[in-house]
Structure 1
Amino acid sequence: MPSPSAPVAVPEAARRTVTGPAPTAGQPAPGKQPPAAERVFAHVKQAVLERRYEGGTLLTEGDLAEAVGVSRTPVREALLRLEAEGLIKLYPKKGALVLPVSAQEIADVVETRLLVEEYAARKAVPAPGALIERLEELLAEQRRHADTGDLAAVAVSDRCFHAEIVRHAGNAILARLYDQLRDRQLRMGVAVMHAHPDRIAKNIAEHTEILDALRSGDADGAAAVVHRHVSWVKNLARGEER
């Protein structure tokens, strides 16, 4: 897991600079393509979340325009949106620096997740059959992605597992609040799995424990496993292992 980062200086601090076309963020949907700025935005955001553009990477308008196949004008528009979301820092006439995940951001996300997810685990009991069935599907999906080594897909199914429990807590406002954490969760999840690949099996085992507790109607047990499962990320931010 990334450690706390000092304020980033002008791009000399970048660990590497994108020098050519980067991987695309997936094929466009059939039919009319979205606007050029939207395509650039989606391309860069997905690459950042999946750590194909890691923290410290310097992105240039020219390289992004070439990668997506657009002019520089929509690239500037997309980069302004990405800066507003806190994923990059713009440096005029230099480029855009992908911001690393800070220890403070990790701590804030973990604290928010604990507040929401422990509550949701208790409220989800007695768990309806539809929730149990969906969690079983997501757990199987996570195992399949782990077997193929697709860490980005593992992170998505991991996040969906927790989000499904939150949705079944019956509080729409809380569910919307939790959805706002999505991008940060996905980016942190991929970073953790790259740095600590052993956590993939541990996460799956702990998800199984959560599912078993919900299936058996043990609200306190489910909340306790959620607390243990989510809290360890903050330990890594402090340089500790569990």
Structure 2
Amino acid sequence: MGEGRPARERVYEWLRDAIIKGTLDGGQFLDEQWVSGETGVSRTPVREAFHRLHAERFITLLPRKGAQVRTVTARELEEVYQSRRLIEGHAISTLCAAGAGAPREMAELVGPMEEAEQAQDWFQVSSLDRSFHRSMVAAAGNTVLTELYDTLRSRQQRVAVRAMRARPERLSVIDAEHRALVAALDVNDEAEAVRVLTEHLKPVPEVVSVLPG
């Protein structure tokens, strides 16, 4: 792990990324001593990281036993998508009303996303996908909504990785939707951009069916 930053930050990021990637899977138990040994830090920053991950609903704290990784549920997936549709839909309306077009970063991220997909680096794809959508939210200029959107970051990535693993054949559809969203924003076509977004953030039955309720 990178040095020079507080140990609790490094442990938090190590655990968060492992959970997003699926290296630490839902239901797995986490012991403070084991995490301390894996990360090379004392148990105090591990405990602090546990509390942060618990607050972000990545793990459940178990008194005197450590923690357990929470499992992504079908309900959580649907609620994350619903929240994103509300915030991103507002961003689309704002950008189109202002005639702003698509933020430059959106078009710039399409290529790198597709390259990461070829390498089947789902964690990288999810990171780039999140940056793609966040650039649209940030460009709308509502700092409160952007901050709210940022609270979804880790859960958004975890859901995305799970969905891509379950249905990698949908990546061509996702790529086409990304390009269509940029194209609609570029001509300030709010109705088309919202239509694409709604289709893009629709829970896929084949993914939902493999998740616990």
- The corresponding residue for 1:69 is 40
- The corresponding residue for 1:223 is 194
Give the superposed CA RMSD.
2.1
Whichever residue aligns with residue 127 of structure 1, its letter is: A
Deviation at 1:85, TM superposition (A): 2.0
1:117 matched to 2:88? The reply is yes
Cα distance in 2 for partners of 1:156, 1:40 equals 19
- The corresponding residue for 1:9 is none
- The corresponding residue for 2:74 is 103
Identity %: 37
1:160 matched to 2:134? The reply is no
Whichever residue aligns with residue 88 of structure 1, its letter is: I
> Contact (CA 8 Å) 1:37, 1:77: kept in 2 or not?
yes
Superposed CA offset, 1:118-175 (max 9, x none): 221222222347x1x3211110110111111111010111111111111122322222
> Contact (CA 8 Å) 1:106, 1:233: kept in 2 or not?
no
Deviation at 1:51, TM superposition (A): 1.7
Cα distance in 2 for partners of 1:135, 1:92 equals 44
Deviation at 1:74, TM superposition (A): 2.5
- The corresponding residue for 1:127 is 100
> Contact (CA 8 Å) 2:167, 2:206: kept in 1 or not?
no
Whichever residue aligns with residue 115 of structure 1, its letter is: L
1:52 matched to 2:23? The reply is yes
Deviation at 1:235, TM superposition (A): 7.8
> Contact (CA 8 Å) 1:109, 1:181: kept in 2 or not?
yes
Cα distance in 1 for partners of 2:27, 2:157 equals 18
Match of 2:203 among 207, 232, 235: 232
Cα distance in 1 for partners of 2:189, 2:206 equals 26
Secondary structure class of the residue paired with 1:76:
helix
Aligned residues: 209
1:83 matched to 2:57? The reply is no
Cα distance in 2 for partners of 1:144, 1:44 equals 26
Superposed CA offset, 1:205-234 (max 9, x none): 110111111122312111110011112357
- The corresponding residue for 1:201 is 172
**TM-score, normalising length: structure 1:** 0.79
Closer, same or farther: CA 165–149 of 1 in aligned 2, 3 Å: same
> Contact (CA 8 Å) 1:206, 1:225: kept in 2 or not?
yes
Secondary structure class of the residue paired with 1:231:
coil
- The corresponding residue for 1:28 is 2
- The corresponding residue for 1:4 is none
Cα distance in 2 for partners of 1:235, 1:76 equals 37
Whichever residue aligns with residue 176 of structure 1, its letter is: E
Deviation at 1:236, TM superposition (A): 4.0
1:92 matched to 2:66? The reply is no
**TM-score, normalising length: structure 2:** 0.89
1:176 matched to 2:150? The reply is no
Cα distance in 2 for partners of 1:119, 1:153 equals 26
Whichever residue aligns with residue 151 of structure 1, its letter is: W
> Contact (CA 8 Å) 1:106, 1:234: kept in 2 or not?
no
- The corresponding residue for 1:40 is 11
Cα distance in 1 for partners of 2:141, 2:45 equals 40
Relative to its length, the structure with more helix (as a share) is: 2
